[in-house]
Amino acid sequence: MTDKNREEMKEKQRKRRLYGAIFLHGFNDMHSTSLPATIPLLAESISLTLSQAGILSALFGMASFLLQPIFGYFSDKQKRPWFAVFGPLVSVTGASLLPLSPNFGGALICIGIMGIGTSLFHPQGNGQCGASAERDRLAFFLSLFHASGTGLAAVGPLYVVFMVSVFGRKGFPLVAIPAALLLCIYLFHSFGENTDGGADAGKFPANTREKGSFVHDLRSTLSRVGWIVAVTCIRDTVFQSIRVFLPTLYVQNGASVAAGSAVVLAVTLTAAAGGVAGGRLADSIGGKKVLFGSFTIAPFFLIFGLWGYGAGSIASLMAGYAFLQASVSVVIAMAQKRCSDARSFASSLVSGATWGIANLCVTPVGILADCIGLQPTLKMVAFLPWCVTAWFVLKMFTAGGIREEA
């Protein structure tokens, strides 16, 4: 075999890993983020309350918060992408069994299974995508990775309604689990071995994970990406709090479950488009401008969108979600560049842990909604990105801003 043939094979393998990771993200998130559509089903079958729905979301978030950094740490040490390929199978199992839950305890178990599956996938999936992407298009390809997840997460509520209506609650897992198993086996064989480092290896200081324990590496990585984690926690809390309760908000105001899920589909698809636009823009003008610009603009549209229920409000929510998620790939690109030899671990902190914290925050949001109403609670949540804007303005005046990384 000639050197040219070897290079061609390596390039094909790289593209299979890159686009396979992008596909698997959508496949995983279509199942693991189906809770909003399942809440009304469980409210009917087991009398689930909004507070209990918040607890389910909190458990999912706790799994992400606790498990993703651990799985991310071990993902960087694997020769084959076991977690990235078979994590979605675990997610599918939990999601398809959730509508069958006989009681709140059964729902907790199913949510726990979903949390383990998505925690297995996301760190290594992010790492596979970042290590396989072209250096000067890192933010863009990461935006495609997250657009796949966000876009099919938007389809998730309608997907669950469709599967349950066609196959029934008992038939859903009988169809979904075997199909997912066959798909994951095929992709595992086509991925090959992991790639290490990637396009940015050596450009930024390395994370010395080989020199210490998990705790040592956690401290080392947080010293590089700590402020990114904090900023992303706020963004994800706003995104998830509104998304989880939006179908219920519309049902409370006389709409059907399908109509509420359709609104979630619309706003989440625009969020995916906003993420792709933000990733492409970040590669051109810099991630910092995209990051803090999106946090400044998004609340205007979100607050107005939660004011009513007409077409104008829905369009405003769509715009708000698009601006909010414009930074989704930017923060991960920043983290991966700072920790290029620990991409999965860094991504697990900036993406997985923050998503878990956001889901934990849904619990007090649900409790507050039971006390003062869902609509005023979500309006309060929509103000949160301006806290980041105020912090950034303060940094600009006191320390010259934050060094550009993407």
Residue 321: closest CA among 406, 234, 228, 243: 243
Average pLDDT over residues 234-249: 86
pTM recorded for the entire structure: 0.71
The reply to whether 97 falls in a domain is yes
Confidence grade of residue 212 (pLDDT, cut at 50, 70, 90): low
Which three-class secondary structure string do you get for 377-393?
HHHHHHCCHHHHHHHHH
The reply to whether 78 falls in a domain is yes
Region of poorest pLDDT, from 145-149, 189-193, 203-207, 327-331: 203-207
The reply to whether 320 falls in a domain is yes
Residue 199 and residue 135 in contact, taking contact as beta carbons nearer than 8 Å: yes
Average pLDDT over residues 225-244: 88
More confident residue, 95 or 395: 95
Domain of 350, in residue numbers: 3-196+211-399
The reply to whether 405 falls in a domain is no
CA distance 386 to 382: 9
Q: Does the pLDDT at position 293 exceed 70?
A: yes
Average pLDDT over the chain, rounded to an integer? 81
Q: Does the pLDDT at position 74 exceed 90?
A: no
Q: Does the pLDDT at position 280 exceed 50?
A: yes
Q: At residue 22, what is the residue type? A: I
CATH at 339: 1.20.1250.20
CA distance 195 to 11: 12
- For the chain, the domain total comes to 1
CA distance 53 to 36: 9
